[in-house]
A and B are shown apart, each in its own frame.
Chain A
Amino acid sequence: MSITLKINGKKHSVNATEGTPLLWVLRDHLKMTGTKYGCGVAQCGACTVRVNGRPVRSCIIPFNTLAAAEITTIEGMEGKETDAVRSAWEEDDVPQCGYCQSGQIISAVTLLESNRQPEDGDIDTAMSGNICRCNSYMSIRRAIKKAAKTL
């Protein structure tokens, strides 16, 4: 079936089988590979994108339910919170392999949009859905606090 999706402010006509998760539409059909596959069952957060500003796991959300939605992927993330997170991530070299970091960054930005002074518990809640097997958690926690201070 053919659907027009609005991704990062641009319209894309997508022809895929009904029920295809947004993840594979982004990666295989639109060649936007910043969004990663990690588990396929919404357990790891590597595929996190934003739909109407809220983080969702693109591996389980059918693309055909998103015709009216504003979809944002890592490639299209912008704004002061995103800038603050990117700067903090780069100043401390938070990523190791980087594979999970699209999802980590989107979760961190979403946290900082609603909470400018996150406590450790807030960071736990916002970030525990994003697995990092390099275990960069210590760096992520430090960088979120650092980014918060710049906002």
Chain B
Amino acid sequence: MFLKYSNSGDDSFPTTDHLPRSGDAILNVSRRSFLLGSSAFVIGITLGSHVLAQEKESPVNPLADVKGGDAAPTLWVSIENNGTVKITCHRSEMGQQVWTSMAQIVADELDADWDKVEIVQAIGHPMYGDQNTDGSRSVRYNFHRLRVAGAAMRSMLEQAAATQWGIDARDCRAELGYVKRSGSSKRMSYGELAKQAGAMPIPAESSICLKDRGEWRYIGQPVPSLTTPKITRGQGIFGIDVDRPGMVHAVVARPPQVFGKTGEFNDKKTLAIAGVLQTVRLPDSIAPALFKPLGGIAVVASDTWSAIQGREALEVEWQDGPNAAYNSASYRKSLEKTALEPGTVQLNRGDAIASLNAATRKITAEYYAPHLAQTPMEPPCATAEWNGDKLECWACVQDPQNTRNTLVGILGLNPENVTVHATWLGGAFGRKSKSDFVVEAAIISREIGKPVKVTWTRDDDIRHGYYHSVSAQHFEGALDDNGRCSAFLHRTVFPTIMSTFAPGANQPAPLELGLGATDNPFDVPNLRLETGKAEAHLRIGWLRSVSNIYHAFGQQSFAAELAHAAGRDQKDFLLELIGPARIVDPTKEGAADYANYDASLEEYPIETGKLANVTRIAAEMAKWGRTLPKGHGLGIAVHRSFLTYVATVVEVAVSEDGSLTIPGVWLAADAGTVVNPRHARAQLEGGTLYGLSNALYGEITASNGAVDQANFPGWRVMRMNEAPREFSVKIVDSNAPPAGIGEPATPPAAPALANAIFAATGLRIRSLPILGTSGDRLSLTNNQGA
């Protein structure tokens, strides 16, 4: 998701004094002004030998503060003499195709020849503004400023040509890598003009003419990925692929419990293993968890396998910490008990309690969803190398700038001495926002005086993560005599992400509630949201779409329960709940800190018309209402998250013995302006399957504070044979500003699936996972209460 420290102006790691507090933690810190004070659009950092624009003594940069941040073309683009256009990507490439989308935006306004475009991956540095590749917002945050940067560079190229030709720049036009002289066949390539263009003043935004939408060459087109040709040949460097001269390898034995301690240890057998070089004791971790390593013993070896073997041979006495009593079964009972008790009111319209008490029909339901682990295919992995007091790291991190700040804070370093390179990320899903693994590498490397790569094995990844929160929810709904919902009560209880940053935090943060709870779109006269307290005993983190997962599961499943109770079609009843097209404003009903994904409600309002529209489209795509084969059922769910509206219809087929398959999924999305429809489709499909996988199989549990699961298939994930057989996607044409794509398909997947299972079998799924770790059969005799 999108944690950003609310530190007040410097770049140091937050001490407890300016830790994020509940409510203000997940902020979009406005860009630091230090760029303005220095000549810091230091292009040399990322560029090759032939760069377009050299830094001037005191450059005038009128584009330092355009919407989205610094749009100085020299920060984002360099053109080499041979015409190669190098575009700096400051976001992390983790499969969402951000290399391609960022390049499309710049190259469009630059009118570059796509075949000449190359990507330079930025280091973590504040000069780029926000680099937190999280929250489905790379395009949204950077769309305008990268267009401006590309257009400014185009204008400078035209100026350079005009100067050469001794004519007015208005008679020069840039097109596909050349500047052409009007009324003449004369042209000069961008490469020929590069050096001179770099000497041109950067134009002010007011003098920059952005293309009209109809003139876009790359934006909105299914431009091929810049990464695929490398991937199909086994090229491209992920975090785990980094190699440095003299590098050694390490794995770490960590305490099984969060804040457990390392007691006595014996490494005699470890050191006897061929290839093992030494062991390093890491400092115990104390609350708050932050992004600190968990402690334990590192085993350093000449190769990864020897390090793993050495760890196997290690004898360590782990000491209990404050989370030793954490057991998932009993914890679930306590969460569910809290969810049954009146809680803190977070949103209020009308008088839901009175209405529910007076209702002729009242429906109640309890929902539960377990911890989940992100498990990207590439586990966390980092390489660190010291040169005197300078530290250089290469790692698969979602926010190299935050990684740098984390290293600076924990190791007490001067930021100027820390360089963090983001490699490709072999998936991330929120796990790689947390840089604990990079800190481990830095500490171990400092200790042993050699470059070291720390590899997390899959067991490490699953046992020592930052987990998606476990949750219990209670719903009550009243139906009036006409079968309409007259009151809706939602109570949500879960350990908060804030607990990772502030010891003792035990109330949901407004930001988490803004993910599917305070932004409730239902057109009911009486609406109430309550929360309860819950203590955290694992490191709680964020996972693709975060709290939206359980909130959409509960809300959209319960809406279907109300439809069933009212004897109505699920889709028709859902549309009635959404109601007429209007703007929903949670801040007017008590959710004062509603964050709206860091966007203004003016620019990105909550529009029920869009919710209803995608719902109707998805239903039409699925031919909702058609006659289905025996054992089949259709379910629908709709949810707005990351400013995008997604409706999903799932068809299930359940045989008489309970075997479950998914013949089809139909999805409609309104994501505003979409930069690359091909890659958006991939995200919408993948995000849906990620949600289906979680709902069907995903469960992380703990016993005596330690996570029980360790590898596939104890932690089960979707495979090809379990994936839907057909998947149709429709992306609504829109001129609205760009919204999120990577996450919004995940939340509606689980309730659409659960609603389909109900339609097929009468089995109402109120507890996840649906199948768990073994088998493909629903327990139809153990009905959870249809």
Contact = CB atoms under 8 A, between A and B. Distances in A.
Interface string B621-654: 0000000000000000000000000000000000
Taking residues whose C-beta sits less than 8 angstroms from the other chain, chain B's interface range is: 35 or more
Contacts of B429: 133
B252 to A, nearest CB: 15
A36 B521 CA distance: 44
Interface string A60-74: 000000000000011
Given A133-B375, A134-B686, A137-B720, A105 B95 contact: no
B458 A38 contact: yes
Most chain A beta carbons < 10 A, residue from B424, B682, B712: B682
B240 interface: yes
A35 B234 contact: yes
A53 interface: no
A43 B98 CA distance: 29
B29 to A, nearest CB: 28
Interface string B684-709: 01111110010000000000000000
A136 B725 CA distance: 13
Contacts of B232: 85-86, 89-90, 95, 101, 105
A140 B727 CA distance: 12
A123 B720 contact: yes
B762 to A, nearest CB: 29
Nearest to B378: A99
A44 interface: yes
B235 interface: yes
Contacts of A89: 228, 231-232
Most chain B beta carbons < 10 A, residue from A32, A36, A133: A133
A35 B240 CA distance: 11
A130 B303 contact: no
A114 interface: no
Interface string A17-43: 100110010011101111111111101
A45 to B, nearest CB: 9
A74 to B, nearest CB: 3
Contacts of A2: none
Contacts of B378: 36, 38, 97, 99
A138 B727 contact: yes
Interface in A68-125: 73-75, 85-86, 89-90, 92-102, 105, 120, 123-125
A4 interface: no
Given A21-B305, A127-B720, A41 B97 contact: no
B237 A29 contact: no
A38 to B, nearest CB: 5
Given A43-B712, A133-B717, A34 B235 contact: yes
Interface residues of A, number: 60
A16 interface: yes
A127 B720 CA distance: 6
Nearest to B425: A97
A21 B426 CA distance: 22
A135 B231 contact: no
A3 interface: no
A46 interface: yes
B457 A40 contact: yes
B727 A98 contact: no
Contacts of A125: 721
Contacts of B688: 135
B231 to A, nearest CB: 3
Contacts of B713: 43
B377 A41 contact: no
Interface string A124-151: 1101111111111111110000000000
B394 to A, nearest CB: 13
A43 B96 CA distance: 25
A81 B39 CA distance: 53
A33 B241 contact: yes
B376 interface: yes
A98 B305 contact: no
Contact of A93 (B305, B309, B678, B690): B678
Nearest to A42: B712
B712 A28 contact: no
B238 interface: yes
B424 A97 contact: yes
A102 B687 CA distance: 22
B121 interface: no
B275 interface: yes
A129 B275 CA distance: 31
A16 B303 CA distance: 9
B720 A34 contact: no
B23 to A, nearest CB: 32
B514 to A, nearest CB: 26
A98 B686 CA distance: 13
B650 to A, nearest CB: 14
Contact of B274 (A17, A32, A33, A37): A17
A90 B232 CA distance: 8
A39 B458 contact: yes
Interface string B665-679: 000000000000011
Nearest to B685: A138
Contacts of A139: 682, 685
Interface string B66-105: 0000000000000000000000000001111100000000
A35 B304 CA distance: 14
B425 to A, nearest CB: 6
A9 to B, nearest CB: 15
Given A16-B303, A37-B455, A97 B94 contact: yes
A138 B724 contact: yes
A9 B438 CA distance: 37
Contacts of A92: 678
A91 to B, nearest CB: 8
Contacts of B682: 93, 96, 134, 136, 139
B224 interface: yes
Given A17-B274, A43-B711, A131-B377, A97 B427 contact: yes
Given A75-B234, A135-B693, 18 more contacts: A20-B303, A24-B304, A33-B237, A37-B240, A39-B712, A43-B711, A43-B713, A90-B224, A90-B229, A93-B97, A96-B95, A96-B96, A98-B95, A105-B232, A130-B719, A131-B377, A131-B717, A134-B682
7 contacts: A43-B712, A93-B228, A97-B425, A101-B231, A130-B719, A133-B375, A136-B685
CB-CB nearest 10 A-B residue pairs: A34-B234, A99-B426, A97-B95, A96-B95, A98-B231, A135-B689, A74-B234, A124-B721, A137-B723, A33-B241
Interface of B: 93-97, 224-225, 227-238, 240-241, 243, 249, 274-275, 303-306, 308-309, 375-379, 424-429, 455, 457-459, 678-679, 682-683, 685-690, 693, 711-713, 717-725, 727
